Amino acid sequence: MTTQPSNDDRISLLQGTLDLLILKTLVLGPCHGQGVARLIQRHSEEVFLVDHGSLYLALQRLEDKKWISAKWGVSENNRKARFYSLTPKGREQLLAKTSEWQRLTRAMGLILDSSKGPLNEGA
């Protein structure tokens, strides 16, 4: 899941963020893969581009780690779909990853916002 260059104004996902977004999306309740992709796009105000192939591989990876579980079911418009839901282990991971991510963004923000950052000094 490397970030892929895209030629529209949507941003490709950063490495490692897809897992967190999937977990977050599933907090709302069980959902199928296509639903997860749509929700991520909608909640990011259509900024994120989700590569669907990568999404399914990510779902599989999370399932292998037992953070989410899956079973076949029927969607709201009566189509067969594979529904994913968060396991207790997944919930723990979500909390941990969320706080990790928040610390990361805060740190990034501190560096990028400061006018006398080390990046500017050398310029």
- How many residues touch other proteins under the rule CB under 8 A: the total is 22
Distance of closest approach, residue 55 Cβ to other proteins, in angstroms:
9
| CA atoms within a 13 Å half-sphere pointing along the CA-CB vector of 50 | 25
Distance of closest approach, residue 79 Cβ to other proteins, in angstroms:
6
Cα–Cα distance for residue pair 56/6, rounded to 1 Å: 20
| Residue 67 identity (one-letter amino acid) | W
Distance of closest approach, residue 94 Cβ to other proteins, in angstroms:
22
Instruction: Find the part of the chain contacting other proteins (CB under 8 A) among 20-28, 74-82, 94-102, 106-114.
Output: 74-82
Cα–Cα distance for residue pair 61/70, rounded to 1 Å: 12
